[in-house]
A and B are shown apart, each in its own frame.
Chain A
Amino acid sequence: MRSQNCAQRIEYFRSGLCATLPLAPGVIAFGLVYALGARQMGLSPVETLLMSLSVFAGAAQFSALQVWTTASAGVIILVTLIVNLRYLLMSASMAPYLQNRHWFDKALAAFTLSDESYALTMPRYTSGQGEFVYLTGANLGLYLQWAAASLVGALLGTSLPDLSVYRLDLIFPFAFLGLLVPQIQNRITLFVAVVAGALAFGGAMLIPGKGYILLAGLGASLGGVLLERMWKQP
């Protein structure tokens, strides 16, 4: 019984790890671009890798590099904070599923939380099939990809071929699309998606950076609750 349970946990861990493989070309291409940028801004290979290992937030690391040579440490940290604000919403919505876990597990899940692992894991949690080991497997897969790409990019520097023409960054929106569509199961979820799309679109036009994710995440989810309340009233 015990060993069967253990085998199942390994299976969940493995499927979490494997779920990140289709994203690997995108993560690795982004990691290489980050590391090249970091080296050009004067970071040493060790510093380039350490930032990836300790911050583990691609968009924030990339944004910090944009102001690296012109801004003070305080401003760089503030930019990091602003770009990462969307994680407040993501971690809040993940929190109910981590309530019965040990504090170490919570801290580990928080430290390795990313757009990609959130997108891979939340559909399972919301459908009642969430498993902490699956989340850990997905987080580990993405962490290793990001770390390996940062290391290779930091060491090889500008001798790498230019991959930008292939637009591997588009892998992410396509993956999120594939994860989103099966989630839309009724009128309220369709409404939330449409409102979120409109807010994200408008927000991306008007607000710089990743603020549109926060705007759409807050606005559309609140809209969903309001609509749900209205329809429940007699």
Chain B
Amino acid sequence: METALTISGMALVTFLIRFGMIALLSRELPPLLARWLHYIPIAIFTALVIPGRLISNGTFESGPELWAGLAGLLVAWRSRQVLPVILAGMFAYWLLCAVHG
């Protein structure tokens, strides 16, 4: 029962956070707000690119992740498609790990 209530609470707050702004911003927006919202995706995408494990316990670890990321960046710049970036990045990572031992 306790578990069911906790899960229900988690589901409720998650839905409210996701729905709140969509419900609130349901009319024509002021231009300045619209321009601000326009730049949010790029900012969020960039933040999502930085994987949590690249930085652990407050220290930056330059390992295979970083070099594979640079390989992915090059492929993204040339191909402008998602799948080649995933494939190149993952294979670069596995290759670097295999070489490093």
Residues of chain A touching chain B, judged by Cβ–Cβ distance below 8 Å, are 19, 22, 43, 47, 50-51, 54-57, 60-61, 64, 73, 76-77, 80-81, 84-96, 98-99, 106-107, 109-111, 113, 115, 118-119, 122-123, 126, 166-167, 169-184, 188-189, 192-193, 195-197, 199-201, 203-206, 210, 212-213, 215-222, 224-225, 228
> Once the chains are docked, how many angstroms separate the CA of A166 from the CA of B97?
10
A56-B14, A98-B22, A170-B90 are known contacts. Are A177 and B49 too (CB-CB below 8 A)? yes
Nearest chain B CB to A144 CB, angstrom units: 18
Nearest chain B CB to A125 CB, angstrom units: 9
| CB pair A84 B26 closer than 8 Å | no
CB-CB nearest in chain B for A103: B23
| CB pair A92 B25 closer than 8 Å | yes
Could you tell me which residues of chain B, from 4 to 58, have a CB within 8 Å of some CB in chain A? Answer: 4-11, 13-15, 17-29, 32, 34-55, 58
> Once the chains are docked, how many angstroms separate the CA of A57 from the CA of B15?
10
> Once the chains are docked, how many angstroms separate the CA of A222 from the CA of B88?
33
- Majority secondary structure of chain B interface residues (helix, strand, loop or mixed): helix
In the complex, what residues of B have CB within 8 A of residue A94's CB? 22
**Number of contacting residues on B, CB 8 A?**
73
| CB pair B85 A174 closer than 8 Å | yes
A180-B76, A196-B47, A201-B55 are known contacts. Are A60 and B10 too (CB-CB below 8 A)? yes
CB-CB nearest in chain A for B6: A73
Pick from A85, A91, A221: contact of B39, CB below 8 A. A221
In the complex, what residues of A have CB within 8 A of residue B55's CB? 201, 204-205
> Once the chains are docked, how many angstroms separate the CA of A170 from the CA of B67?
13
| CB pair B85 A175 closer than 8 Å | yes
| CB pair A180 B39 closer than 8 Å | no
Of residues A43, A60, A80, which shows the largest number of chain B Cβ atoms within 10 Å of its Cβ?
Answer: A80
Nearest chain A CB to B11 CB, angstrom units: 4
A22-B86, A47-B4, A197-B50 are known contacts. Are A189 and B80 too (CB-CB below 8 A)? no
A111-B18, A111-B19 are known contacts. Are A55 and B46 too (CB-CB below 8 A)? no
A95-B21, A204-B50 are known contacts. Are A73 and B82 too (CB-CB below 8 A)? no
| CB pair B18 A180 closer than 8 Å | no
> Once the chains are docked, how many angstroms separate the CA of A189 from the CA of B53?
26
A55-B10, A77-B13, A184-B42 are known contacts. Are A119 and B48 too (CB-CB below 8 A)? yes
Nearest chain A CB to B82 CB, angstrom units: 4
Nearest chain A CB to B56 CB, angstrom units: 10
A60-B10, A87-B18, A181-B73 are known contacts. Are A96 and B46 too (CB-CB below 8 A)? no
> Once the chains are docked, how many angstroms separate the CA of A110 from the CA of B25?
13
Pick from A57, A60, A221: contact of B40, CB below 8 A. A221
